[in-house]
Amino acid sequence: MRLPIFKNQLPGLFILFLFLNACKPTPQKLSESEVKDFARQLEESIKRGNGDFLDEALDEDAFLEHMKLPDTREARGLRKEIKGKLDIGKKIAGAISDQDQYAYVKHYQKDGTYHLIFRLYNTKESSLNYHDYELLKSEGKCRVADIYIYLSGETLAETMRTLLAGFFNAKGKEEDDYMRQMNSLQEIKRLMQRGQHADAKKRFEQLPESIRRTKPVMLYDVMISSGLAEDQYTEAIRKYRERFPSDPNINLLMIDGYYLQKDYVKMLGAINALDSQINKDPFLDFYRYLSYNLLNDTPTGKGCLQRLMKRMPDFQRGCQELIVTEMQDKNQAQVDSLVKLYRANKKFNQAELDNILSTFD
């Protein structure tokens, strides 16, 4: 079993650019009910495969302010070229299948500003990420100022500023070279999307060291390597952790890292630390279950599954795992009850349940 947390985690977000005229909006206060309603609309729109709601909600002026771009001729020129091309919502919606999750977890306030946390879970790849939306109110509407990406350990605005720093410091031919490297990252992304991770790795290694050692591009290497041999994946995680040992995304990164090292106690610790970082997500009981299974502590793992299904009865994989656990414990009454619940959920894959039941016939 592998837990490829970092596959298919929207690598295109690292090479998007946005330059817009900045101005400070008149401060307005959001109510909790407005925040909850925005979260509901965002979740529903992504589930429908429509990213327009999120794209229209992005406050471009606030996002630019977070990027802290230099006031240069180059920046002013690019503002006109690529205005409105971020398309975060479209990219998220386009990367999620009917079996995946983009789910509202919670809202909270920090320094008087509301935030939303959404969970991104890819069922096929068992990949996990979180997005923390910083909200504001502008012209009477709830808007998005920036998005903290747990996978990258920084906001989207910070990531984009890092990638653009070389461009703004370059002149003449250096500027052309930098844009070629950005195009190479685009090509690497396309290779990854086609599952050609070995070719993507070769292209990655052709990038100049100055670009390869930047935080977002080193994380790119982790994502590329997740589709290669385990020793290459382990090495990419090790290099990233060595260069950024205190990075906020280390807890998420090291769930895979400790699994590959077969250090399941530390793997469990990373899961618990991530849960504390988010300030509780019931979904992480699923990862605790996986850890306890690897530690051969079946009763504790089963307890994690039971808690998970009470809080998230629509999580298909959790229901499947609990059915298997009860079958192994020969608790037929519990098996029958869970199978009945599974059959009643029309979104669940019934053929997968048939396969599970057939293995115990």
pLDDT for 160 equals 81
Mean per-residue pLDDT for 108-119?
Answer: 96
Residue that finishes a domain, picked among 139, 168, 197: 168
pLDDT for 9 equals 43
Structural domain boundaries, residue 269 = 250-358
Residues 260, 122 share a domain? no
pLDDT for 167 equals 64
75 is a domain residue? yes
102 is a domain residue? yes
pLDDT tens column, 231-277: 999 999 999 999 998 888 899 999 999 999 999 999 999 999 999 99
357 touches 339 (CB < 8 A): yes
Residues 349, 257 share a domain? yes
Mean per-residue pLDDT for 149-175?
Answer: 76
Q: What is the pTM of this model?
A: 0.84
| CATH number of 328's domain | 1.25.40.10
- Taking the C-alpha atoms of residue 151 and residue 6, their distance in angstroms, rounded to an integer, is 8
Angle at 190 between CA 187 and CA 194, to 5 degrees: 140
Residue that finishes a domain, picked among 168, 201, 224: 168
| CATH number of 108's domain | 3.10.450
pLDDT category, 7, cuts 50, 70, 90?
Answer: very low
pLDDT tens column, 51-63: 999 999 998 878 8
Residues 164, 295 share a domain? no
pLDDT for 174 equals 59
pLDDT for 18 equals 29
pLDDT for 23 equals 44
pLDDT for 6 equals 43
30 is a domain residue? yes
Compute the mean pLDDT over every residue in the chain, rounded to the nearest whole number: 86
pLDDT tens column, 175-193: 667 678 778 888 988 888 7
322 is a domain residue? yes
- Taking the C-alpha atoms of residue 73 and residue 16, their distance in angstroms, rounded to an integer, is 20
How many domains does the chain contain in total? 2
The three-state (H, E, C) secondary structure of the chain, written as one string: CCCCCCCCCCHHHHHCCCCCCCCCCCCCCCCHHHHHHHHHHHHHHHHCCCCHHHHHHECHHHHHHHHCCCCCHHHHHHHHHHCCCCCHHHHHHHHCCCCCEEEEEEEEEECCEEEEEEEEEECCCCEEEEEEEEEEEECCEEEEEEEEECCCCEEHHHHHHHHHHHHHHCCCHHHHHHHHHHHHHHHHHHHHHCCCHHHHHHHHHCCCHHHHCCHHHHHHHHHHHCCCCHHHHHHHHHHHHHHCCCCCCHHHHHHHHHHHCCCHHHHHHHHHHHHHHHCCCCCHHHHHHHHHHHCCCHHHHHHHHHHHHHHCCCCHHHHHHHHHHHHHCCCHHHHHHHHHHHHHCCCCCHHHHHHHHHCCC
Mean per-residue pLDDT for 300-319?
Answer: 96
Provide the percentage of residues in the chain whose pLDDT is more than 90.
Answer: 59
pLDDT tens column, 115-155: 999 999 988 778 899 999 999 999 899 999 999 999 989 99
140 is a domain residue? yes
Residues 134, 31 share a domain? yes
- Taking the C-alpha atoms of residue 301 and residue 287, their distance in angstroms, rounded to an integer, is 9
Residues 162, 21 share a domain? yes
Residues 164, 298 share a domain? no
Residues 152, 4 share a domain? yes
Residues 141, 41 share a domain? yes
139 is a domain residue? yes
Residue 20 scores a pLDDT above 90: no
pLDDT for 3 equals 54
175 is a domain residue? no
Residue 324 scores a pLDDT above 80: yes
Residues 258, 155 share a domain? no
| Residue 324, token pair as written in the block | 């298997």
pLDDT for 172 equals 54
Residue 335 scores a pLDDT above 80: yes
Residue that finishes a domain, picked among 137, 168, 199: 168
pLDDT for 282 equals 96
8 is a domain residue? yes
pLDDT tens column, 345-357: 998 999 999 999 9
Residues 260, 120 share a domain? no
